[in-house]
Amino acid sequence: MSAVLQATPSGAAPQAEPGRRLITVQGVNKHFGPHHVLKDVSTHFNAGEVAVITQRQLTIVGLGDEPPVFDADGRHAEGKAIWVVRDGDIRISNIAFRGCRVPSANGAGIRFERGRLQLARCRFTDNQMGLLTSNDERAELLVQQCEFSHAPDNPDALPHLLYVGRIGRLVLQDSRLHHGRVGHLLKCRARQALITGNWLDDGPQGRASYEIDLPNGGQAEVTHNLIGQGPGTENPVMLCYGAESDKQPHWPVNRLLVAHNRFVNRRPADGVAVRVFAERLPADTVVDCHDNQLLGGGALQLGPGGSSRNDAPGPLPAEPVPKA
Q: How many CA atoms lie within 13 A of 220 on its CB side?
A: 27
Q: How many CB atoms lie within 10 A of CB 140?
A: 19
Q: How many CA atoms lie within 13 A of 256 on its CB side?
A: 30
Is there a contact between 182 and 153 (Cβ–Cβ < 8 Å)?
A: no
Contacts of 315 (CB under 8 A, 6+ apart): 295, 296
Q: How many CA atoms lie within 13 A of 262 on its CB side?
A: 16
- Report CA torsion sign: 137, 179, 322, 314: negative
Contacts of 318 (CB under 8 A, 6+ apart): none
pLDDT attached to residue 58: 86
Quote the DSSP letter at residue 156. T
CATH class of the structural domain 5-314: mainly beta
Return d(Cα 280, Cα 116) in angstroms, integer.
30
pLDDT attached to residue 4: 39
3-state secondary structure at position 284: coil
Single-letter amino acid code for the residue at 230: G
pLDDT attached to residue 49: 85
pLDDT attached to residue 62: 81
Contacts of 114 (CB under 8 A, 6+ apart): 86, 87, 88, 134, 136, 138, 139
Spatial CA neighbour of 24 closest among 52, 3, 38, 45: 3
pLDDT attached to residue 13: 38
Q: For the chain, which ranges sit under pLDDT 50?
A: 1-23, 41
Q: How many CB atoms lie within 10 A of CB 66?
A: 10
3-state secondary structure at position 280: helix
DSSP string, 101-149: --TTS--EEEEE-SSEEEEES-EEES-SEEEEE---TT-EEEEES-EEE
Return d(Cα 294, Cα 261) in angstroms, integer.
9
Single-letter amino acid code for the residue at 121: R
Spatial CA neighbour of 95 closest among 154, 132, 46: 46
Query: Residue 216 class from Cβ within 10 Å (0-12 exposed, 13-18 middle, 19+ buried)?
Result: buried
pLDDT digits (tens, 9 = 90+) for 47-66: 888 989 888 888 888 877 88
Return d(Cα 237, Cα 300) in angstroms, integer.
10
97 CA to centre of own chain? 13
